[in-house]
Chains A and B, each alone.
Chain A
Amino acid sequence: MSTEATTTPTTTTTTHGRIGDSALRPDGTLKVTGEFAYASDLWHDEMVWGVTLRSPHPHARIRRIDITDALTVPGVTAVLTADDVPGENAFGLEHADQPVLASEFVRYEGEPVALVAADHPETARRAAKRIQVDYEVLPAVTDARRAMDPDAPAVHRPGNLVRHLKLRRGEQSPAAPVVVSLDFEVGMQDQAFLGPESGLAVPAEDGGVDLYVATQWLHVDQRQICLALGMPPEKVRLVLAGVGGAFGGREDLSVHVHACLLALRTGKPVKMSYGREESFYGHVHRHPAYLTYEFGAERDGRLVYGRTSVVLDGGAYASSTAAVVGNAGTLGLGPYRFPSVSVDVYGVFTNNPPCGAMRGFGCVQAAFAHEALMDELADAVGIDRVAIRQLNGMREGDLNITGQVIDSAAPVGELLQIVADLPLPPPSDPSDIRALPGAVGNTTHGEGVVRGVGYAVTYKNVGFSEGFDDYATARVRLEMTGGEAVATVHTASAEVGQGLITVEQQICRTELGVERVVVHPKDTSVGSGGSTSASRQTYMTGGAVKAACEAVRTAVLDRAAGVLGRPAGELRLDGEKIAGASGEVLTGLAEVLGDDAVEETVEWRHRPTHAIDPETGQGDAHVQFAFSAHRAVVDVDVELGLVKVVALDTAQDVGKAINPDAVVGQIHGGSAQGMGLALMEEIVVTDGHVRNPSFTDYLIPTILDMPPMQVKVLEYADPHAPYGVRGVGEPPTISSGPAVAAAVRAATGRALRRVPIRPEHITGT
């Protein structure tokens, strides 16, 4: 195999920044200057290109596939169908229910049916068009609310229910003097990561394969690939390639098995890289949701009960629907105290695009409903919208709706107070149209513009829940290189742009006192780091790196104890020195280590969580909760239905800001993504067909849509978490959208029970 490849990820070395410093990200400058090597830049001199043929139908039976024509195209090296999958033709995060290549049925538009490898991507695409698939089109179920009807077509046997979460707590026929209710609908959001799915599979001499791929969890990919290839893990090695954003959309497999199949068949390295349109078909999306909510309260606004019924459209395959249902149920009433609760959340199969993980994971949909209803309640009892939330907001020591004790800070009231007290923006200057709704579209010079303010607050679980064995592995090595102490940290935890590499280095520096820290490429030659999702990596991989550093330190001091003839307990490792109890330098690290390296690998777990009771939904389901609040200020052109978000201010408790700049970056990005769902981001699906699979019509916020933010970060350490950290990435995505929607409701006086809010919802035309 040629070594002329740009597949080998380089190690990353930096020398500055401990915990609490805003250490610079090594990838930052590269990304801004366009030099960062993303997975789509992977290259091998001998590679061929793989493409995917996808189903045009939401539901059909495959009668026959004829690949003869495609094989005759010059330059084509392989055409594969379901028959060519050597292992089990199935994958899936929680259930292996999704074929690698469709064999008998296709269940959604865009489902992979065949693969082509050719010497040029264009050749491969053309050949793919010459594959003849004889489909018998079947009736499709595309309305999630109808999926469980007895006469609905079954997407899978035995039926279309993925999970029903049932939660009952307290009085089940509660009476309350004030009752408010609503129906809410949330459209299908896309992760819209900027680097589309890409990977390069290189066949190896041992008959196995090396896969370089952009992903969120190398080991869960590896497990699924092994199943499909019928190979043991030693033969399927994964290396993380440059990831251009993830947001949950890379938790499920995309090019992975396909590229490996083609590589093993052709004996050549195979690159696969989706374009933007294919990317919309190539990953799961956020579940569309239909939510019915009812709250009962005392006349003073104190909540008496919450009752909800929610249907989540899981699309054609299970993906992580069951876990999303778990969140939408156990966290679905928001960070409030409810004496009694009745919750039913249904995740269903349809012939729509599969839905799964996306930042905020089930809490995003629920928050739109519970926050809209809290505003209703405030109005109904005649108190302020901030005050109603503070009155009912969770506090440390409270029980949540699954009966779990909130056993660290729960500053709901304080977060709301902070955002309520932040200065409000001045009225917009009508002489600068960029500041007005419609901006350079020049649709108003102030006519029709009404300002509105909205509030929202949320809490989100951090890490994997409901009894999942959630762990991360870290390997840390300490040695003297060129007269200098160097730590090398090796984890398989994916850096997807959130800054984990920097966090790993900061922890090593803090724990070992070294300056130079090398981050080994992320790959499967070390144990699993768990998923880069659920806001968990700083907590989990951070915890593992911390523990590995402690093990290294102990090992070094044990050695020093031997050399010095003193008990290890009296020694301290202080950078390149070994010091005694009162700080006196006793010897150097160089003397203790010589040419040796000390290396320790640690598998680290958070405290266990538990499954919830199937009848009552009660149980300690979650390991940690993270809280945030937003205040949105919008100007709405009420006659044209156009919105300008003028301010989007937030407060969030992060436990401990390991890297304060990165924390604020997460909050900015998450807030923008939540605002996008409130105002514009939707994959429009009609009868199972995606109508806007491009950035021409799937709109994400631009700089003229996103206001500057005031961000206030609280650091109430969680005593159970390493350094007290609390996950940061998701809460902003959850509370920003409902705050924006509330502000638009305030400006327009319209109910607006669906997001994204479109201009015609505001104008009523």
Chain B
Amino acid sequence: MDFLQPTSWSEALDLRAERPDALPIAGGTDVMVELNFDRRRPGALLDLGRVPELSEWEADDGVVRLGAGVPYARVIDQLGAQLPGLAMAARTVGSPQIRMRGTVGGNLGSASPAGDAHPPLLAAGAVVEVASAARGSRDIPAADFYTGVKRNALEPDELIAAVRVPAATGPQQFSKIGTRNAMVIAVSAFACALHPDRRAVGTGIGSAAPTPRRAADAEAFLAGELQSAGLWESRAELPETLARAFGERVAAAASPIDDVRGSAAYRRHSLSVMARRAVTWAWSDLREAA
């Protein structure tokens, strides 16, 4: 197995194109597990750890451009205010060691339905920025990025450069169910974001469908109800019935399975509870901010 270590983004893209048999590695917290179990034996590892462009983030014009190689620990420390949903999700990932190594780019690369970064990226309306040596860069909205169980929209010669996430304009929440209180893969997860500037609601569901997905119907429903009840202006309390109806719509958007981590019925049920609670917290944060 060759070990390729580009030191610049353009070199990385060239190597990616030249070596279709190479497997990119960032923090390695998914890749090394795969290698150890002999589930993959790539011809080469393409180490992205020395590509400086990937390990930076910058905020510009209300959008945070988060380099694919920024680890969760930095998201938690540095981006809690701008990307609160993603930071909350990052806090639930693995253990301190995993959060030091693991990256959002790696989570996107693996595209596991249980990946914790996905729901908040969906809720925030993030865009994944990918690039190839041949065709330059292109943008893929997060909602189009996940194409199947552990599959994403990357072409074989492409790498993930960054994810561009609109900085929060309102409260965000992330909730994750696991059968222990830390270091656990999600049985189900939910993220929501309130966008008072555009009077919209964002959602993301994890571990309850073949891919992470939005609950588009629930988003439109809640935004519409808030609008028609004049709640965006009044910032009055969120009616419990509305929160509950939102939760039910979120649960309806899932297509969960029974597996060793939990039953489909529990996944659906837990989504409705998490969504109801999360939107209630988000709304009360919005009222407090007003």
Main secondary structure of the interface of B (DSSP, over half): mixed
Indicate if B149 sits at the interface (CB-CB under 8 A).
no
Q: A447: which B residues are within 8 A, CB to CB?
A: 277
Q: Which of A440, A442, A680, A696 lies at the interface centre, i.e. has the most chain B CB atoms within 10 A of its CB?
A: A442
With both chains docked as a complex, state the minimum distance between the C-beta of A73 and any C-beta of chain B, in angstroms. 15
State whether A697 touches B260 (Cβ < 8 A).
yes
CB of A444 closer than 8 Å to a CB of B: yes
B92 interface residue per 8 A CB criterion: yes
Q: Which of A701, A704, A759 is within 8 Å of B262, CB to CB?
A: A759
From A129, which residue of chain B is reached at the shortest CB distance?
B38
CB distance from B263 to the nearest CB of A (A): 5
Q: How far apart are B253's CB and chain A's nearest CB, in angstroms?
A: 17
Contact A760 B177 (CB under 8 A): no
Q: In the docked arrangement, what's the CA distance between A122 and B36, Å?
A: 10
Are B187 and A759 in touch, CB under 8 angstroms?
Answer: yes
Chain A hits for B92, CB < 8 A: 440-442
Query: Residue of B at shortest CB range from A696?
Result: B185
Instruction: State which size class the interface on B falls in.
Output: 20 to 34
User: Is A153 in the interface zone, CB < 8 Å from B?
Assistant: no
Contact indicator B266/A641 (Cβ below 8 Å): yes
B229–chain A nearest beta-carbon distance, Å: 23
Question: A759 contacts B182, CB within 8 Å?
Answer: no
Residue of A nearest to B89 (CB): A442
> Which of A277, A439, A641 touches B181 (beta carbons < 8 Å)?
A439
B178 contacts across to A, CB distance below 8 A:
438, 441
Complex Cα–Cα for A62 and B174 (A): 52
Cβ–Cβ < 8 Å partners of A640 in chain B: 177, 270, 273-274
| Chain A residues within 8 Å of B91, by CB | 440
The answer to whether B181 touches A702, judged by C-beta atoms less than 8 angstroms apart, is yes
Cα distance A705–B183 when bound, in Å?
A: 10
Docked Cα-Cα span, A642 to B183, in Å, equals 15
Q: How far is the CA of A759 from the CA of B262 in the complex (A)?
A: 8
B16 within 8 A of A: no
The answer to whether A442 touches B260, judged by C-beta atoms less than 8 angstroms apart, is no
Q: Is the CB of B38 within 8 A of A125?
A: yes
A644: nearest residue on chain B (CB-CB)? B181
Residues of A within 8 A of B211 (CB): none
Residue contact B265 to A765, C-beta cutoff 8 Å: yes
For B173, what are the chain A residues with a Cβ–Cβ distance below 8 Å? 442
Contact B176 A441 (CB under 8 A): yes
B135 touches A (CB below 8 Å): no
Residue of A nearest to B261 (CB): A697
Q: With a CB–CB cut-off of 8 A, which chain B residues contact A759?
A: 177, 179, 187, 262, 266, 270
Known A-B contacts A442-B175, A447-B277, A696-B185; A760 and B262 likewise in contact (beta carbons under 8 Å)? yes
User: What 1/0 flags go to B159-185 for Cβ under 8 Å of A?
Assistant: 000000000000001111111111111
Whether a CB of chain B sits under 8 angstroms from the CB of A12 is: no
Please tell me if the beta carbons of A438 and B181 are within 8 angstroms of each other in the complex: yes
Nearest CB of B to A261, in Å:
24
Report the separation of the CA atoms of residues A680 and B185 in the bound assembly, to the nearest whole angstrom: 13
Q: Measured between alpha carbons, how far is A436 from B273 in the docked complex, in Å?
A: 16
A699 at the binding interface (Cβ < 8 Å): yes
Residue A749 lies at the interface, judged by CB distance under 8 Å to chain B:
no
A692 at the interface (CB under 8 A from B): yes
Query: Taking the complex as formed, is A758 at the interface, i.e. its CB lies under 8 A from any CB of chain B?
Result: yes
Cα(A412)–Cα(B248), bound, Å: 50
Q: Which 10 A-B pairs have the closest CB atoms?
A: A439-B181, A760-B266, A704-B181, A765-B269, A704-B182, A441-B176, A765-B265, A702-B182, A691-B260, A765-B266
| A residues lining the B interface (CB < 8 Å) | 122, 125, 275, 277, 434, 437-445, 447-448, 639-642, 644, 679-680, 684, 691-692, 696-697, 699, 701-705, 758-760, 763, 765
Instruction: Write 26 A-B pairs (CB below 8 A) sorted by A numbering.
Output: A434-B181, A438-B177, A439-B181, A440-B181, A440-B182, A441-B175, A441-B184, A442-B88, A443-B274, A445-B277, A447-B277, A679-B180, A691-B260, A697-B261, A702-B181, A702-B183, A705-B180, A705-B181, A705-B182, A759-B177, A759-B187, A759-B262, A759-B270, A760-B262, A763-B266, A765-B269
Given contacts A443-B273, A765-B268, 4 further A-B contacts (CB under 8 A): A122-B38, A441-B178, A763-B269, A763-B270
